[in-house]
Structure 1
């Protein structure tokens, strides 16, 4: 740990990269405001959230661990790209289902992902199963309607039953705010469409965000912290790897940290055209400039919990130092009552890393983002989880030059 990592933090910049989410940054601002207040009530923090000057961001003034800290949080805005990718009709979504399933099966990624964690693979099968079930019910309704038409009108009227297929499918789609089948299908299709690469529009957005991080590294700050949640984790890895390779991380600048939460990196890195991501993972794993802590929990069925994203992707070299893989241990950091209330709310649990814990351990999102210690200092000497998975399982291991 360097001297800049040991300094007390009084001014911090946080750059948050969300996963595949159609909602604007204000959703994360309100989530932070609500959960910070809940954590403060448990842990004795003093935290206030104020409107931020940065686009898609907010300010935080806190007194934690006896120190006053000012933090500015900014969110990578790519919700418009997500919404555009979700703007598919019913027929197009079923075509996506076939292409996505074929991509993961034909490339061998599916079978290898199943050997890591069953939970996120089951989550990937969920929209496929639900959408096929909806189609089956629509066809069953068509058969019943056709049989009735043939009985009441004329045998030749049986094909009229097909007219109900589309209305039934359209009704199911209107219920997706509760079922999430279309949403998840679009999410997996977004990754599979480019076989592990980022689409140009997203790469351009990452380039702009990297410029903002580089500008923050030239400011009078004590720490710059990049946080990537869910599929935002692999985007955060790529952004920081680009800054490192371009020589844009000053040796005398603020402490720089990377916090990845509930990552699903293997869903991308196991695909054949993810050479850029695999190179980025290898780059970050061996450097000594950025502290990288990866937090997940076996209770999160939507994440590849405790899977070292570098090692399982097959790009860990002898000089590997990062990430530090630790567990948020939901069954210990949430009271039995709270755990029972959340256990089967899979999507809510996937966001628990950004929320309050009523029995917090050494992972506390608000201490990390608004407290007086750098990420490196806070986890210095912390042993990695003993149950982490490091088996290199990806079939595709080539890296972009």
Structure 2
């Protein structure tokens, strides 16, 4: 297989509260681990701010061959911080408002119809907080329920409040419930093409066009989780601004645990669905979706283009993997029951040689297109 000497990468992370520097540190740790596993010497540079975005350089040396990858990290941590800046009660209220919006726009029904585990993921934070509120109200109303003097409410109402604020909410942070509320608020903003999301997409599209002036053997758009919606929206906008932006370039578009349908299945998400159609119909684009059964936070075995109304277009290939092939037995057992941790595993390091590894995909010597035919239980030939 012909090895790649240079690669231009546009990385759209998931809904993690990390800025570009934090993503770089995570990438460097993963590269160190994966490098030992695959016998590749990675050198990961720091983040520099350029007109084309937050940039880091990664060099990979394997069997005398050197590959240079320029990776632009298009994080959206500033938007996450903005969504999380409100008070506790306002975040809860806005979270439930967003949940109601998802239901009104048909998203919740579509999640359960096409991927019931993702439907449960949608319901989880709302059910958790609802139960906490119900228990707090029960404590507050206890004197009325047992038929004693209402004066005892002067004691039980503060107790109910303290139970919720000092008990339920700190415990809920183990499951990142407020962060998940922000995630659904952002999903609605992306689907509705609200300024919060649209301004970010517009800015990144122009930065991608600037970066594409750099020559390379291949170009990779890679996204994780919620980042898939943003990557599709940005890439679609790039082609609106410059229809030939991908011409004469080897361009791959890879989604990892892609949750683009989280936004695209909303009735208001017409512009995102249009971008998905543009990408699906682009003849020179190699698009595939890497999915894992043990990750419940994506729409497993769902075809993004088809369910977005583009059944007549070329469909992204679904590439199934198993994390047990890339993790040690101990690490797999430890993390398997942590659904958020397993969802994040796509972009973390490997303990064992397998067909998929994030660092190998983004900075290794193999062409990105070769990963579309991978078997996770069979290491690639390098």
- Compute the TM-score of the two structures, normalised by the length of structure 2: 0.88
2:178 to 174, 179, 182: 182
The alignment status of 1:40 with 2:35, answered yes or no, reads yes
* Partner in structure 2 of residue 342 of structure 1: 335
In 2, Cα distance between equivalents of 1:273 and 1:68: 46
**1:295 aligned counterpart, secondary structure:** strand
Q: 1:323 to 1:274 in 2, by over 3 A?
A: same
**1:38 aligned counterpart, secondary structure:** helix
Q: 1:383 to 1:363 in 2, by over 3 A?
A: closer
Q: Structure 1, residues 320-342: CA drift from partner, whole Å, max 9, x if none?
A: 22412101222434344332121
The alignment status of 1:218 with 2:224, answered yes or no, reads no
The alignment status of 1:22 with 2:17, answered yes or no, reads yes
- Answer yes or no: is the 8 Å Cα contact 1:255–1:374 preserved in 2: no
**1:62 aligned counterpart, secondary structure:** strand
- Answer yes or no: is the 8 Å Cα contact 2:355–2:374 preserved in 1: no
**1:257 aligned counterpart, secondary structure:** strand
Structure 2 unmatched ranges of 5 or more: 377-382
What is the CA distance between 1:167 and its match in structure 2?
3.0
Q: 1:251 to 1:105 in 2, by over 3 A?
A: closer
Q: 1:22 to 1:217 in 2, by over 3 A?
A: same
In 2, Cα distance between equivalents of 1:177 and 1:143: 26
The 5 A counterparts of 1:124-163 are 124-144=122-142, 155-163=150-158
The 5 A counterparts of 1:228-247 are 228-247=223-242
The 5 A counterparts of 1:299-378 are 299-317=294-312, 320-376=313-369, 378=370
What is the CA distance between 1:275 and its match in structure 2?
0.3
What is the CA distance between 1:205 and its match in structure 2?
1.9
Q: Structure 1, residues 97-118: CA drift from partner, whole Å, max 9, x if none?
A: 4423333333333222112222
- Answer yes or no: is the 8 Å Cα contact 1:146–1:159 preserved in 2: no
* Partner in structure 2 of residue 296 of structure 1: 291
Greater CA drift, 89-98 or 176-185: 89-98
Q: 1:335 to 1:116 in 2, by over 3 A?
A: farther
The 5 A counterparts of 1:247-266 are 247=242, 249-250=244-245, 254-266=249-261
Structure 1 unmatched ranges of 5 or more: 1-5, 386-401
* Partner in structure 2 of residue 82 of structure 1: 80
* Partner in structure 2 of residue 116 of structure 1: 114
- Answer yes or no: is the 8 Å Cα contact 1:285–1:310 preserved in 2: yes
Q: 1:274 to 1:222 in 2, by over 3 A?
A: same
What is the CA distance between 1:344 and its match in structure 2?
0.6
Q: 1:118 to 1:360 in 2, by over 3 A?
A: farther
- Answer yes or no: is the 8 Å Cα contact 2:140–2:153 preserved in 1: no
- Answer yes or no: is the 8 Å Cα contact 1:22–1:83 preserved in 2: yes
In 2, Cα distance between equivalents of 1:200 and 1:108: 22
- Answer yes or no: is the 8 Å Cα contact 1:325–1:384 preserved in 2: no
Q: Structure 1, residues 109-131: CA drift from partner, whole Å, max 9, x if none?
A: 32221122222211111101110
Q: 1:155 to 1:363 in 2, by over 3 A?
A: closer
**2:58 aligned counterpart, secondary structure:** strand
- Answer yes or no: is the 8 Å Cα contact 1:29–1:57 preserved in 2: no
